Amino acid sequence: MSQISDALQIRKVIAGEYIIKQNEAGDKFYILEEGETYVEKVFNEGEPAKKVLNYKKGNYFGELALIKNEPRAASVVALTDCKLLSLDRLSFKRLLGPIENILKRNSDAYVKFIKN
């Protein structure tokens, strides 16, 4: 736990700010310490994004791109001012690698929201 605490970085964002943008390279894992966010996804090019999920204090996101080494599947936008804790890719793999299978299993619960 102390190694994770040392590696965590704090990021503050204001309401309306994009934390993650769909199709960008994923380089960070986030834990929402304060505030609320929503997830939006563009399913078909040229169509507007659709809100598909909300995150509240204590939720985490951004692990799919790190686990699967793929671009971001959706965007995450701050609904309110937020305080985030983040781990970069290297720290995520080094510190959370042993629980990667648990994170994969948990991610199945919301993958259905971001699939076409």
The pTM assigned to this predicted structure is 0.80
Domain total in the chain? 1
CATH code where residue 8 lies: 2.60.120.10
Predicted pLDDT at 99: 58
Ranges of residues in the chain with a pLDDT under 70 are 1-7, 95-116
Between CA 13 and CA 71 the distance in angstroms is 22
CB of 93 closer than 8 Å to CB of 66: yes
Task: Say what the pLDDT of residue 67 is.
Answer: 79
Alpha-carbon distance values, 46 to 41, 42, 70, 71, 85 (Å): 12, 8, 22, 19, 33
Give pLDDT tens digits for 30-41. Answer: 999 999 999 999
Residue 15's pLDDT is what?
98
Is beta strand 18-20 parallel, antiparallel or unpaired with respect to 82-88? unpaired
Domain assignment of residue 105, given as a range? 2-114
